[in-house]
Structures are given as structure tokens and as C-alpha cells.
A and B are shown apart, each in its own frame.
Chain A
Amino acid sequence: EAGVTQFPSHSVIEKGQTVTLRCDPISGHDNLYWYRRVMGKEIKFLLHFVKESKQDESGMPNNRFLAERTGGTYSTLKVQPAELEDSGVYFCASSQDIAGGRWRTGELFFGEGSRLTVL
């Protein structure tokens, strides 16, 4: 079974440009999350989708970040316009639905991350 896949693995852009990151969750996982790790800091929660709906977007830093999950499958995270402080590794994770008690908090499956460098 394929894991969580993210694209691109590394993106280098200039300040003011736009970048779109993509995440394909594990097939059948309704829950999809975006996290970010800025250099030297902790991994921080950005938002959580349940299918195509945003369940929790409390971690989104500002309105330059737009996340979508049309159709409840893959998700995109767009940064427009990018700023220097947006540099970091963006992780996507997915998990199964809680129905039937099969899912417990924390059993997230992470992708390899998309490294964003803003110059």
C-alpha cells in the first residue's frame, strides 16, 4: 500500500512568488493534515481536513496560505506571495476515520515532506 506522497520534494523560489505543494494521502484516509517545520523549531500544526471540509485551520499563519482538498482526495497548499519566513519543511499526514474506534489520536502517517526555500 502506498504511503502519503508529497510533491515537490524541494522547491526554491524567490520572495513574492507563488508555490503550490501537493499531498496524496493514503487511500481511504478521510483525515488529512498539514504541518510545517521551520528550521530549528518544532513541527507545527497548520490545518486538518475531514474529506473535503476544513475541520480545524487554527494553525494557518496568515491569509497568504490557502489549502484545498477538492473531492476529498489529494490536497494542495498554496503560498502566495511567499515570504522569507515561509521557508521550512511542509509535512502532510493522513489518518483513518474514527468510525468503529479504529483510529486513535496520534496515529498519523506522515509524508516525506516538501522542503520550501524562499530566497
Chain B
Amino acid sequence: GQQLNQSPQSMFIQEGEDVSMNCTSSSIFNTWLWYKQDPGEGPVLLIALYKAGELTSNGRLTAQFGITRKDSFLNISASIPSDVGIYFCAGQSGGSQGNLIFGKGTKLSVKP
């Protein structure tokens, strides 16, 4: 089946540093999404991308939908302690609404 390769698996950074993570696939996706999961909570949507090449920002977060439709990245600028959590990319390629393919997640730790 379809798979998303998300990297890195984990990151340990200092507060104030910028962070970058990405997802790639051998398949084309129509939609790319980035979610964040805090401990003990469910994933929360951060950014949704619907068009190839689209670059979207949400506060300190910026994400792009790759031109080939096979990849996406998420950048976090000037990280703060509350950025800690697991970040998931997800894509939809044409299955039913809400049938999302998720990456394995990037666990982010931020040292104050």
C-alpha cells in the first residue's frame, strides 16, 4: 500500500532554533496535511495544503506542498518549549474523504 516516509524520527533542539522536517512518497498525493500530537492528546491539524507548489504559513509554522506532489516539508521557526510533541504528515491520494495516509511521526524535544 501507499506509504509516507517521514524524517527525522526525532529531534532534540535548543529553544530558539529553527526546525525542519519532511515527508516523501513514491505515490502522488492530492492533499498534504501536518498534524501535531501533544502527550495524552489526539492529533491536531496545523496546516493543510491542497495544491502542488502551495506554501502556507500558520504563525511560526510554514509548510509546502511539493511540485511533484510526492513530498512536503514543515518548518518551525524560533522554537519554544510548547512546540514539544509528535508531528505527523498525512496525505490523501484519492480514497474516500478522511482516508488519510500518515507518516510515522517526528518527535520534537526542545531544551529551554
Q: Which residues of A contact B (CB under 8 A)?
A: 4, 31, 33, 35, 40-45, 48, 55-56, 58-59, 91, 93, 95, 98, 103-108, 110-113
> How close is A92's CB to chain B, nearest CB, in angstroms?
8
How many of chain B's residues touch chain A, expressed as a range? 20 to 34
User: B30 — which chain A residues lie within 8 A by C-beta?
Assistant: 105
Residue of B44, B96, B103 touching A110 (CB-CB under 8 A)? B44
Q: Which residues in window 39-57 of B have CB below 8 A to A?
A: 40-45, 48, 50
Any chain A CB within 8 A of the CB of B100? Answer: yes
Residue of A43, A104, A112 touching B48 (CB-CB under 8 A)? A104
Given A105-B31, A106-B92, also A48-B41 (CB < 8 A)? no
B97 touches A41 (CB 8 A): no
A48 touches B97 (CB 8 A): yes
> How close is B101's CB to chain A, nearest CB, in angstroms?
8
Any chain A CB within 8 A of the CB of B59? Answer: no
User: A31 — which chain B residues lie within 8 A by C-beta?
Assistant: 97-98
B96 touches A48 (CB 8 A): yes
Q: Which residues in window 58-112 of B have CB below 8 A to A?
A: 88, 90, 92, 95-105
User: A107 — which chain B residues lie within 8 A by C-beta?
Assistant: 45, 48
User: B4 — which chain A residues lie within 8 A by C-beta?
Assistant: 42
A111 touches B42 (CB 8 A): yes
User: B21 — which chain A residues lie within 8 A by C-beta?
Assistant: none
| Bound CA span A108–B35, Å | 10
A56 touches B96 (CB 8 A): yes
| Bound CA span A40–B9, Å | 10
| Bound CA span A48–B101, Å | 14
A59 touches B98 (CB 8 A): no
A4 touches B42 (CB 8 A): yes
Residue of A41, A59, A106, A111 touching B45 (CB-CB under 8 A)? A106
Query: Which residue from chain A places its CB closest to the CB of B32 in the assembled complex?
Result: A106
B40 touches A43 (CB 8 A): no
Given A41-B104, A42-B102, also A98-B42 (CB < 8 A)? no
Pairs across A and B, CB under 8 Å, 19 listed: A35-B102, A43-B90, A43-B102, A45-B99, A48-B96, A55-B97, A58-B95, A59-B99, A93-B42, A93-B98, A104-B48, A104-B50, A105-B97, A106-B33, A106-B98, A108-B45, A108-B98, A108-B100, A110-B35
